[in-house]
Structure 1
């Protein structure tokens, strides 16, 4: 694992697999707002995923007229955001006890509430601006196949209710027995289940929608423009950052890296702190025994050493009923060590491919029915996540490098972190001291960059989880 963490990520591959969400591509997929790359900007954002797009939207909403340039190596929203599983799901109970032990009760509560708030805010933003992304708030269920996880989950939920209050929406879970889970969720082999509020959407459509809002506010988007290197220099007593590309260089006083698993390419100090993680997903036609217009819940299937995550496309989507399921890394030797440090999203790992194709029918058993006459698989793809050394994202100013800002390493959970992380980052960048203190009050301190966190290197499998989360098994979600 240490060897894998030392592999330089490089820039994103030119020929990635095409995800289910990218067909057809957005009309801004290959946009260059100006024919030439600007030579200067007030803010330069590297990366057009949900982090970079929400940062741009927040900046331009707060600072009308600011010159904001976004660089994207490939097409817009071509990274993990455009390749994820379509889930807005936190399952904060899975890390709550460990966060409480490692970070304290107040911080554990703050993380759980932040993740829930991020889900609600994401769907609210889509509604407010009419972003067509099949945004759906719905119940989700963790189907448990491990007695260990069933016991730990009950304990965690009880503790959350105790310290957060029975009425706190971030602590509201329903607990189901094996018989109830089999009946309610069509999963005959479950030991039990935990149900909570979550949602689903097309993260690709949501984020291209946010990008369009930003473009209307003046964002300059430059696709197919990989950032090759960055360097600081002093200009009249102020630090200026130069970003070099094959199309020329651009200078700025404020450089934002929303580069997730690729961050160490531009910032070698992050090598071994943010590690790329290759994940896979498959879109499938539902079996004849399942509702053909979509299940009412989204799902996770929790095994002793790993899990899968699944949505069923809602009636409001262009493709209702289609199942999108990802995971499977735990099927590989050494907890899937070979997937860490891997940035080739033009390829699929054969063992995971085989497993994801068949596991849905196994989970639903007789309730699956027969496969669709056109076959089960509609689309398969891969993508690159960013895994952090301590299981939490890195948000804020890089210590001792004025003007360098980061929002990255969401450990496969970007859809329950990125929108609020963007809000926090922009508050830290543009606010006065009082406003920055407000951000530090509501945003988890444990996710803010610090010298102490930077000292912790990626040294093994447990570092991919929230502190101490090893008891809950694999944490890998594209």
Structure 2
């Protein structure tokens, strides 16, 4: 893993796979507000995903007269935001005990509440602004196939209720046994399930919708304009300027914000090995002919990892289509080969094969025959940003005045980006935000974060309380008629 973490991410691939959401592309996919690159601005934002979009939105709310230039290497929202499954799902209980041990109870509570607040704010914003993105709040079900994950999950939920209060919406969970799980969620062979508040939307339509709001307010969006490098401007009269170099020229600004997720070390080498690209895959599948309507979103959690599944809402033209992704844990060395990989033009054939059969295996006995048009509608890949401690890097880069970062979301950007963007803009203005976890700041813990060793994505690690003799649930078990615990 140390070797994978050393691989420089480089620039985004020029010809990536096309995600389900990007067909057809947004009207602003290749937008350039100005024909040429301005030579200066008040703010330069690199990256046009949900983080960059909300950083621009918050800046324009506070400074409507500011000149803001956003640079995007490829089409607008062509990175992780435009490629994810559209899941607004926190699963805070799965990280709560780890966060409490590592950072203390107060910070663990802040993180959980931030994630819940981010979900609610995302869907509220879509509704208030009239962004057509199939926004839907609903419950989600974590279907558990691992005894260790089952026991740890129950402990975590009990602890969250204890320290946060049972009525805290971020600590509200329901627990279902094996029989109830099959009856309610159509998943035979599971140990049980945890349910809680979540949602789904088209993250691509949502983020491009936010960008359109920003364009109306004066944002200068320049797509197909990659940032090659950044450096302090060699100016004795104003040493606080930052220069961003592109193939179309250079632009200077007193404030440079990197919303570049897994690609951040390309521009900020001091984060090499702290934010590591992680290649993932998703499929869009037609449901089986006998599968009942799915009223929740899902995660299927086994010893070495998980898949997630989102059924498209009834009100959409593709109602019932299942977006299912994940599965890294079934690859050799728990998917180590996918770290450091930024080629989102390619697909891993082993992962493809696994994902093709994953949904029908999980709903075994309830799937029926495949749709006459075939099971797979589309498959694509994308690049996430994994961090050494499982948390994003948000705020000022230590020792680099005017340089800011909002990146490294570990595949959970839809429950972090909106509020993290709000936080980084607040930091730029010197505001104190008691709701924001200190441990997410770039230079927190006395700078200790910048010295951590990358050992893989935190949420992909097995619980410490692995049951004696417990099998690592993999491809063969997934394809069996109902999974079993050994």
Give the TM interval when normalised to the shorter protein: over 0.9
Q: Distance in 2 between matches of 1:469 and 1:105?
A: 22
Q: Does 1:465 find its partner at 2:458?
A: yes
So what's the TM-score if we normalise by structure 2?
0.93
Contact 2:232-2:239 within 8 A present in 1 as well: no
Partner of 2:363: helix, strand, or coil?
A: helix
Q: Residues 318 and 61 from structure 1, CA distance in 2 versus in 1: closer, same or farther, beyond 3 angstroms?
A: farther
Q: Tell me the CA shift for residue 270 of structure 1.
A: 1.1
Which residue pairs with 1:247 in the alignment? 248
Q: Deviations over 1:360-411 (max 9, x none)?
A: 1110001011100000000000000001111100000000000000000000
Contact 1:392-1:411 within 8 A present in 2 as well: yes
Q: Tell me the CA shift for residue 237 of structure 1.
A: 4.6
Q: Distance in 1 between matches of 2:354 and 2:459?
A: 26
Q: Distance in 2 between matches of 1:365 and 1:469?
A: 25
Superposed, which structure 2 residues align to 1:230-379 within 5 Å?
230-233=230-233, 234-291=235-292, 294-379=293-378
Structure 1 stretches of 4+ moved >3 Å: 466-474
Q: Tell me the CA shift for residue 452 of structure 1.
A: 1.9
Partner of 2:243: helix, strand, or coil?
A: strand
Contact 1:95-1:469 within 8 A present in 2 as well: no
Which residue pairs with 2:61 in the alignment? 61
Superposed, which structure 2 residues align to 1:382-401 within 5 Å?
382-401=381-400
Partner of 2:357: helix, strand, or coil?
A: helix
So what's the TM-score if we normalise by structure 1?
0.95
Which residue pairs with 1:222 in the alignment? 222
Q: Residues 472 and 197 from structure 1, CA distance in 2 versus in 1: closer, same or farther, beyond 3 angstroms?
A: farther
Number of residues paired by the alignment?
463
Which residue pairs with 1:443 in the alignment? 436
Which residue pairs with 2:483 in the alignment? none
Q: Distance in 2 between matches of 1:321 and 1:472?
A: 37
Q: Distance in 2 between matches of 1:57 and 1:472?
A: 44
Q: Deviations over 1:163-216 (max 9, x none)?
A: 100110000000000000000000111110000000000000000000001101
Q: Distance in 1 between matches of 2:460 and 2:19?
A: 32
Q: Which moved more, 1:418-427 or 1:327-336?
A: 327-336
Q: Tell me the CA shift for residue 290 of structure 1.
A: 1.6
Contact 1:102-1:468 within 8 A present in 2 as well: no
Report the RMSD for the aligned CA atoms in angstroms. 1.4
Which residue pairs with 2:484 in the alignment? none
Q: Distance in 1 between matches of 2:158 and 2:16?
A: 44
Q: Does 1:212 find its partner at 2:249?
A: no
Q: Residues 467 and 254 from structure 1, CA distance in 2 versus in 1: closer, same or farther, beyond 3 angstroms?
A: farther
Q: Which moved more, 1:115-124 or 1:264-273?
A: 264-273
Contact 1:12-1:73 within 8 A present in 2 as well: yes
Q: Tell me the CA shift for residue 101 of structure 1.
A: 1.0
Partner of 1:365: helix, strand, or coil?
A: coil
Q: Tell me the CA shift for residue 317 of structure 1.
A: 2.3
Superposed, which structure 2 residues align to 1:24-35 within 5 Å?
24-35=24-35
Q: Deviations over 1:223-245 (max 9, x none)?
A: 00000011103442541100010
Q: Does 1:417 find its partner at 2:416?
A: yes
Which residue pairs with 2:148 in the alignment? 148
Q: Tell me the CA shift for residue 318 of structure 1.
A: 2.8
Q: Does 1:80 find its partner at 2:80?
A: yes
Q: Distance in 2 between matches of 1:387 and 1:121?
A: 24
Q: Distance in 2 between matches of 1:326 and 1:277?
A: 13
Q: Tell me the CA shift for residue 126 of structure 1.
A: 0.1
Q: Distance in 2 between matches of 1:468 and 1:278?
A: 17
Q: Distance in 1 between matches of 2:305 and 2:220?
A: 41
Partner of 2:280: helix, strand, or coil?
A: strand
Contact 2:287-2:320 within 8 A present in 1 as well: yes
Contact 1:98-1:469 within 8 A present in 2 as well: no
Q: Distance in 2 between matches of 1:155 and 1:140?
A: 19
Q: Distance in 2 between matches of 1:249 and 1:216?
A: 25
Q: Tell me the CA shift for residue 295 of structure 1.
A: 1.4
Q: Does 1:452 find its partner at 2:448?
A: yes
| Structure 1: gaps (5+ residues) | none
Which residue pairs with 2:481 in the alignment? none
Partner of 2:41: helix, strand, or coil?
A: strand
Q: Distance in 2 between matches of 1:15 and 1:442?
A: 40
Contact 1:94-1:472 within 8 A present in 2 as well: no
Q: Tell me the CA shift for residue 468 of structure 1.
A: 8.3
Q: Distance in 2 between matches of 1:148 and 1:110?
A: 26
